[in-house]
Amino acid sequence: MPKVDVRERILSENDRIAAENRKLFDDARLLVLNLISSPGSGKTTLLEETLGRLPRQVRTLVIEGDVSTERDLDRVRARGAGGIQINTAGGCHLSAKMVAEALTQLELEDADLLFIENVGNLICPSTYDLGEDAKVVLLATTEGDDKPMKYPAIFHEAALAVINKIDLLPHLQYDVGKVRNEIEVLNSGCEIFELSALRGDGMDAWLAWIDARMAEKRDR
């Protein structure tokens, strides 16, 4: 009997559903960003600060992925975003099917921007297409500067890498130049921003990048 590659079959089905998600997003001209990082890098804080700085007319939704609790969703709702929580009950990533089920409870036509905050993990989420327009990988200076070469898959896939918590650089042994060089070796097309979500450094560039991507999506 021929052998069946279970992983290949799972990914094939995921890609099929991701394509359906993508069509929904494209039909709604909705920009969708998949935020990926290890735990504690500051994804939710970046989301909070982004929501607080976006123009009022930008209608934003958030899908929060986590193993349990709705704590992160509560935080972004407090900043005025609509959204929904996906709890994976131990799963290390969101799948296209999980996102598709969440979409049935969201009014995509009434939004301009959707953030998907993936489960904290640099490995599994890199493999699963959710139908997003771009993967954004977030690094924190507190994690150490060895992440790109240790977890290359996500850097191959990401359209943007955000180096967060740069306000802490004076207190850390973190080589920003090394990190930038390694990302560029892995993916020369990946843009790189340095910022501090809490202090506000670099947030203007991040917001301008989002605005440009939304304009591209509207003009398709």
pLDDT digits (tens, 9 = 90+) for 14-29: 999 999 999 999 999 9
| Architecture per CATH, 6-218 | 3-Layer(aba) Sandwich (3.40)
Report the alpha-carbon distance of residue 103 to residue 159 in Å, rounded. 23
User: What residues form DSSP beta bridges with 162?
Assistant: 138, 193
pLDDT tens-digit readout, 137-156: 999 999 999 999 999 999 99
Task: Label the pairing between strands 82-87 and 160-164.
Answer: unpaired
pLDDT score for 1: 47
Quote the pLDDT of residue 189.
97
The tokens for 137 are: 């990988």
- CA torsion 100-101-105-109 (nearest 10°) is 10
pLDDT of residue 6: 64
Instruction: Tell me if 124 sits within 8 A of 40, measured CB to CB.
Output: no
Centre a 10 Å sphere on the Cβ of residue 190 and count the other Cβ atoms it contains. 20
Contacts of residue 26, defined as CB under 8 A and 6 or more positions apart, other chains included, come to 220
Q: Tell me the mean pLDDT per 10 residues along the chain, length 220.
A: 64 96 98 97 97 96 95 94 94 96 96 97 95 98 97 97 98 98 98 97 98 94
Query: Reduced to 3 states, what is the DSSP secondary structure of residue 40?
Result: coil
**What local confidence, expressed as pLDDT, does residue 9 receive?**
79
Q: Which residues pair with residue 83 across a beta bridge?
A: 62
pTM > 0.75: yes
